[in-house]
Amino acid sequence: MASVSIVVPTFNRPKLLPRAVRSALLACPEDGQVVVVDDHSVIPAISVLKDISDTRLRVITNGYEKGASGARNFGVFSAFGDAIFFLDDDDEMLPNYCLRVMKSGFHGSLAGYCAIEHVELDGSTQTISRRGLDRGLIPDSASMRKKIAGLQMGFWIRKDVFQELGCLDPLLTTDEDTDFTIRMCSENIGLWYDPDPGVRQYSHLTANKGGQLTKTTPKDVVARNYLRTLSKNHATFPPMHKARWFLLSRFLRRAIEAHEYRLAWRVAMDIKPLYLSICGIAFLSVKTIARPRRHLTSTLINRLFIQR
């Protein structure tokens, strides 16, 4: 059986990290490893984990670009596993997940992800899954949204494929997972989906915005990260491919949320091909009209055209 490495990037989460690492060790095969990549935390991860004694655990300091992407890239390069699993430092990996993947998905695909067990504030749990997807390779006919896998969704990939695709973009402080899986799609690399949960997340962490980087990053920064993903990837698909509209519309939504109206209109008017630009302009017109307490569309368009 191929070897497994679980990569856990961490930054300033000393109370949550031990729980994540213990869950990873429970899920990790006996001949696998758990690689914790400390992105220069104030309290070093090695001291936080000093009470965990397991030969499979390796704690290293990020030697690449600072940030979640750089830490994950460094972890992958430092790992010996054929299969790389990613786990966030505030989540838990369920005990049988790696074994499930290695017995099924790893031999049928190059990468994959799974459903999530979500723990509510009252302690109850629910499974968050992608509707309409069964266990196995995601069909080509599936929407682009279903082909996008977050790295917190039990994401795994063959190490050689991760490296051949150029790893995660260190300039993206968020949305690096969408950028990466979009690149996978452009190379026709299919994803394996498991409808049974492989990771556990907690509502109290997402409720106080401690669980997801996208929720803690300023909205204007998120919008610009989405724009980078759009700029890098939309032209890799054929002109009429649905992925182009998927990337443009998700950026426009984020730009509107951040009140980055001028940027949104500039991108919509400049993007190619023409049909995509027309769709973007129509989309913005509808969205801005639907927000009467914000800038009226007519006033906004006049200002934008004057200042272009």
pLDDT tens-digit profile of 239-280? 889 999 999 999 999 999 999 999 999 999 999 999 999 999
Question: From the CB of residue 306, how many other CB atoms can be counted at a distance below 10 Å?
Answer: 7
Give pLDDT, residue 56.
97
Give pLDDT, residue 214.
45
The answer on pLDDT for 182 being more than 50 is yes
78: β partners: none
Query: pTM for the complete prediction?
Result: 0.88
Residues 82-105: tens digit of each pLDDT: 999 999 999 999 999 999 999 987
Residues 161-174: tens digit of each pLDDT: 999 999 999 999 99
The answer on pLDDT for 305 being more than 60 is no
Q: List where CATH 3.90.550.10 sits in the chain.
A: 4-210
Please give the torsion angle defined by the CA atoms of residues 146, 136, 35 and 123, in that order, rounded to the nearest 10 degrees: 70
Confidence of residue 156 (pLDDT cuts 50, 70, 90): very high
The CATH number assigned to the domain with range 4-210 reads 3.90.550.10
Cα dihedral sign, 180-202-89-41: positive
The answer on pLDDT for 297 being more than 50 is no
- In this predicted structure, which of 22-36, 72-86, 106-120, 285-299 has the lowest mean pLDDT? 285-299
Give pLDDT, residue 22.
98
How many Cα neighbours within 13 Å face the side chain of 126?
A: 6
Of the candidates 74, 72, 85, the one whose C-alpha atom is nearest the C-alpha of residue 25 is 85
Q: DSSP of 82-118, one letter per residue?
A: SEEEE--TTSEE-TTHHHHHHHTGGGT-SEEEEEEEE
Cα separation of 252 and 96, whole Å? 39
The answer on pLDDT for 69 being more than 60 is yes
Residues 142-154: tens digit of each pLDDT: 988 899 999 999 9
Confidence of residue 129 (pLDDT cuts 50, 70, 90): very high
Kind of pairing between the strands at 83-86 and 92-93 = unpaired
The answer on pLDDT for 211 being more than 80 is no
**Could you identify the residue written with the tokens 């980078």?**
228
In the predicted model, what is the mean pLDDT of residues 117-127? 92
Confidence of residue 14 (pLDDT cuts 50, 70, 90): very high
Confidence of residue 215 (pLDDT cuts 50, 70, 90): low
Confidence of residue 217 (pLDDT cuts 50, 70, 90): confident
Average pLDDT, whole number, for the chain? 89
In the predicted model, what is the mean pLDDT of residues 188-210? 80
The backbone torsions φ and ψ at residue 137, rounded to the nearest 5 degrees and listed phi first, read: -65, 135
Please indicate whether residue 30 or residue 298 has the higher confidence score (pLDDT).
30
